[in-house]
Amino acid sequence: MKKIVVLLLLLLTGMEAWSQARRITGRVLDENNEGIPGAGISVRGTGTGTVTDIDGNFAVDLPEGSNVVVVQSIGYGTQTITVTGDSVTVRMVPTARELEGAVVTALAIRREKREIGYSATTLNADELNQGNQTSALSAIQGKTAGVNITSSTGGPGGSTRIVLRGEKSISNNNNALIVVDGIPINNQNRLSGVSSLEQLDFGNRGNDINPEDIESITVLKGPAAAALYGELAAFGAVMITTKKGRARTARPSKTEITYQTNYTLHDVLKYPDLQNRYGQGNVHDVEDDRRENFSWGLPFDDQPRPWGQTINGQQRVKPYSAQPDNVKSFFNTGRTWENNVSIGSGGENGAFYLSLNTLNNKGITPNTFFDKYSIRFNGSTQLSNKFYTNLNVNYLHINQRIEASGQAGGSVWNNVLQTPRDIPIHELKDLSNPFNSMDMIDESGVQRYGFYGAYTMNPYWVAERFDNRNRTDRVLGSFTVGFKPGERWDIFNRFGGDVIADRTTQRTPKFNSEPFDPFYAGLPHISNGGYFEGTSNTQTFYNDLIVNYTQQITDDFGVKALAGHNVQLSRVNTSSASIDPEQNGLVIPDFYNFSNAQGPIIATNTLRERRSVGVYGSAIFDYKRTVFLELTGRNDWTSTLRQENRSFFYPSANLSWVFTETLKNTPFREKVLNYGKLRAGVASVGAGGLEYQNNDPGYVSTVAETGFGSVRFPLQYPSGNVSGFTFQNVYGDPNLRPERTRAWEAGLELSFLRERITTEITYYYNKSVDQIITVPLPPSSGYTGRVINLGDISNRGIELQLRVTPVNTATGFRWELFGTYTKNINRVDRLAEGVDRITIGGFSGMAITAAVGEPFGAFYATDLRRDDQGRVIIDSASGLPRLSTDLVYRGNYQPRFIASWGTNLRYKGFTLNVLFDTKQGGVFYSRTKDIMDFVGTAKETENRTPQVWANSVYVAADGQYVQNTDIQYDPYDWFTSTIPAGQHVVDASYVKLREASLYYTIPSNLLQRTPFGSASIGIYGNNLFIWTAKENMYADPEVTSGGAGNEQGFDFSARPSLRNYGVTLRVSF
């Protein structure tokens, strides 16, 4: 590391002395005659130069004999001007976006695309917001290759996982680093459930950013691109640039006010397929059992039949017929109203952008909502000729209520799915109706329920009374002070902060309801009631001090160098307390306060802190602006490793060659191959592990857990309290080293036929070694796990992007087609000796794992036992398949490939966008299937006649396998008691109509007598339709109970995903 710094210092000091010069002034303007700030001015043949100020003005000294200046600005063609007078005005001509667009690289440094030797895709605001998604991260889906995005709910709230070029780490969550205006921000997942089996997913924090504030997003896919972020860069980076104050409008006014309003409707994207032949009951027990959640009753006969309880001699009657729309009719149409006002202005000495955003959502499940309020201020000033400042501040307030998923008591979906096929769910809505009630007080003062189900609860009541909320206040932003002492230098310090205060509450109602009906005797609904309240305060601070140096050494040879110093700190302080409904309980129902506990409340607090310091440098050398070589190096010192191991160095190099420059002025270049670039990059990055992972075990207050209950200290004996502490069960290797990812990539970018066809192809390989993993230990060792460095994961793949413009006429008709294709091959190459797989999720009977030789996210589950020929072995008595004793491999959650295709049509103010995307291959586990099979509502339970298991064998007396042709099994036994978890792992392939929209921009001549500068209206939709694999009759494969973490493909009765569609109006003044 020291060598690099010395080298950089040497480079920096290699400056020339000034000579006699003539000073000229000038201004650089864009296509709208607005000044372009930050344009580079260099005096040909001298190496001197400068940069334009906020209004595009510059002043530069021309040495004797020099009169040619070269003007460059990202996004514009380079201009070479011969200066004759004392001042000059330069008009820049924009270049086509795909070719020479600006790319925001690591540290938020803008570069021309031609300069960079790695794959980086930039999406501008129009592309991002064409589907009006409420999540900026979800809006990337389908728009670039190399990215695997999973949007669990597809609407407001919920998590979005964004993985670039495959999973690389077992202990980290593999999500890309989210950077806003140069500052990495907190992207923590707000999961508040007891576990993924009873999940409360309040979304991940990267989704907080208001999409309307975003000017562009650049996806830095590989380590080569993100290497300058060091430790944070292992999983790539998503660089978000927010809007600045420059109003780039043709109108002379310098202040632009924009108002946009969106009104969106939501419904469930995919409902499970249901059977419509059998209703409530259990033909193997009580055929017509009014208490049942089973639809294993008699076939429908459409005859009137009483249902539910008899209350005071009365009972409801309905025909015994299917309710085909039953599940659907439970949900509301969700509604979101979003309003956004922004004001942008630029003046002599500065510019600002101010935006206010409100988003108010009512969810599809009764009583759920998601409200977000955002204020952003971005300002910049030129303090004097040499100093400048920028201040970006974003305040967010989010308030939401969601329903629990999984098998939690408060899981609405779980109760809905178990509704027998003939019970009209919408008739359960009126909770004041005694037949629907869960906790009425009868005339003798006894609490009673009149709800039909003895084994499930009224989902409307659950949705009302189980109340889970999260409230977040967040301030994030950055403050930059810069100093430009001369033409070549730019020194600035950028301080960023992200401070989050977050509060979660969970209310579990207390009830002890006996049924009204004697038939229901002995089946009360009981809950002790409970309350959880947790707060977390998260602080992330990030400071960069960066020195930039630019020099055009000769006409052909230039260098841009950079040196920087970085300090980071993150601190998460959480505290929570709970009245556990399973051990403790409320005294007074509906009073949610810790003073209302039956026993001691359980309180916990944790502080997690990590810090790091880094120094870094980079140098880009260019030859004739045709060949670019960038070398970077960074050294980090991290607090999470001990002193001897905490320093680590990451180098990277990349090379870009715009080979079409050598064909300059040939007809081939003008007409056929307009642009061609070859690029290659290599990098090594690392991740230092989590806080305290290398620690020795310490002591924690003892909780002796049995299967479900527990005994916890202190023991509050009448004779006095007794405290107990237990030695921890997991210990860390004190010698932990950072995880390392080594990567290389090579790519080609081409543009043909006057930019009618542009394409980009990249091959990459990355190998992550020295995984920091917790290896499970046998308890007889005294411990259950140790954290060590061992394990390799590799990813290799191809990314392809293609954009074709078949029609582009002078009348303004433009038709564009584009597509992406990503194939990533992931493999867990090695784990610790003797360890075949590490569990990253699931439950007993179904584990989502990192397994040696399989792709990350391998499903292991109990499944059917088979003979050598793959035939199912059945039990000769029951005809039912026998089950495997071990967990067997059932596929993995990695898609075989990800692709998207879309089109844009523009004609006279109309814009039509359509985007499809797909993931093919991969599997997911569906508890939606499990529970529907069990209760007999799933479509596949419709065939109930005893049958022979296809291609099955049984074990004959002599031990030989004999083909089974006549031993029948009863589907009832199969679905209600035998079916193993492995049978609920289903194909996750899907095609989605991800986005579709139609916008109309009102011609400006119609607006002349109005106060509006521009106006547009549109209709849009996202997550509109889904086509799934035939065997997936259950759920959108994107839903997951694991949030944005590594536990993917896990529909443990997760919240269903949403279809969103609406109208928008946008005007500017």
Provide the minimum distance between the beta carbon of 370 and other proteins in the complex, in angstroms, as a whole number.
31
Q: Which is nearer to other proteins, 626 or 695 (CB)?
A: 695
- Least separation in angstroms between CB 434 and other proteins: 24
Site for other proteins in 495-514 (CB under 8 A): none
Q: How far is the CB of 391 from other proteins (least distance, A)?
A: 23
> Which residue number, 172 or 472, has a Cβ lying nearer to other proteins?
172
Tell me if 85 contacts other proteins by CB under 8 A: no
- 641 lies in the binding site for other proteins (CB under 8 A): yes
Determine the Cα–Cα distance for residues 829 and 651; give it in Å rounded to an integer. 24
Task: Report 264-303 residues binding other proteins (CB under 8 A).
Answer: 285
Check residue 712 for interaction with other proteins (CB under 8 A): yes
For 456-488, list the strands marked E by DSSP: 467-483
Half-sphere exposure of 782 (CA within 13 A, CB side): 5
* Least separation in angstroms between CB 784 and other proteins: 5
Residue from the set 602, 629, 757, 991 that interacts with other proteins by CB under 8 A:
602
Any residues with CB less than 8 A from the CB of 200 and at least 6 apart, and which? 191, 192, 193, 402, 404, 405, 468, 504, 506
- Residues 504 and 202: their CA atoms lie apart, in Å, by 9
Does residue 197 bind other proteins (CB under 8 A)? Answer: no
C-alpha angle with apex 296: 291 to 297, nearest 5 degrees?
Answer: 70
Residue 36 tokens, joined: 């372009």
- Among residues 782, 812, 946, 1003, the one that binds other proteins under rule CB under 8 A: 782
Nearest to 972 by CA among 415, 294, 288: 294
Residue selected from 86, 325, 348, 705 as contacting other proteins according to rule CB under 8 A? 705
Within 802-841, the residues that bind other proteins by CB under 8 A are 834
* Residue of 486, 806, 853, 946 interacting with other proteins (CB under 8 A): 486
Count of beta carbons in the 10 Å neighbourhood of residue 782:
11
- Residues 6 or more apart whose Cβ sits within 8 Å of residue 953: 867, 871, 872, 873, 874, 961, 962, 963, 964
Residues 720-739 close enough to bind other proteins by CB under 8 A = 720, 722-729, 731
List phi, psi (to 5°) of 412: -65, -50
Q: Which of 780, 869, 1005, 1008 binds other proteins (CB under 8 A)?
A: 780
Identify residues 884-903 at the interface with other proteins (CB under 8 A).
885
Rounded distance, CA 44 to CA 706, Å? 79
Q: Give, as ranges, the residues between 856 and 885 that touch other proteins (CB under 8 A).
A: 885
C-beta of 324 vs 486, nearer to other proteins: 486
Query: Please, which of residues 387-406 interact with other proteins by CB under 8 A?
Result: none
Sole binder of other proteins in the list 93, 317, 603, 607 (CB under 8 A): 607
Could you say which of 46, 536, 583, 983 contacts other proteins (CB under 8 A)? 583
d(CA 802, CA 174): 27
For the CB of residue 600, give the shortest distance to other proteins in the complex, in Å.
6
- By CB under 8 A, tell whether 384 contacts other proteins: no
Per-residue CA distances from 878 to 951, 975, 978 (Å): 16, 14, 11
* Position 759 contacts other proteins (CB under 8 A): no
**Tokens 């339970």 appear where?**
941
Q: Which residues of 509-531 are buried (b: 16+ CB within 10 A; e: fewer)?
A: bbbebbbbbeebeeeebebbbbb
Least distance CB 599 / other proteins (angstroms): 3
Exactly one of 337, 373, 623, 783 binds other proteins (CB under 8 A); that residue is 783
From 80-88, 466-474, 752-760, 770-778, give the range in contact with other proteins by CB under 8 A: 770-778
- Should residue 342 be labelled a site residue for other proteins when binding is judged by CB under 8 A? no
Among 383, 441, 588, 700, binds other proteins (CB under 8 A): 700
**Cβ neighbour number for residue 88 with a 10 Å cutoff:** 19
CA dist., res. 855 & res. 861, Å (int): 16
| Residue list 507-566, contact with other proteins (CB under 8 A) | 522, 526-528, 545, 547, 563, 565
Contact yes or no for 964/953 (Cβ under 8 A): yes
Q: Which of 473, 691, 940, 973 binds other proteins (CB under 8 A)?
A: 691
Q: Which of residues 14-53 bind other proteins (CB under 8 A)?
A: 15
How many Å apart are CA 167 and CA 705, to the nearest integer?
Answer: 34
Determine if 776 is a binding residue for other proteins (CB under 8 A): yes
> What is the Cα–Cα distance from 156 to 1055, expressed in whole angstroms?
12
Nearest alpha carbon to residue 452 among 522, 528, 526, 517 = 517
Determine the size of the site formed for other proteins (CB under 8 A).
99
Q: Should residue 853 be labelled a site residue for other proteins when binding is judged by CB under 8 A? A: no
Nearer to other proteins, 299 or 485 (CB): 485
Segment near other proteins (CB under 8 A), from 173-181, 695-703, 961-969, 999-1007? Answer: 695-703
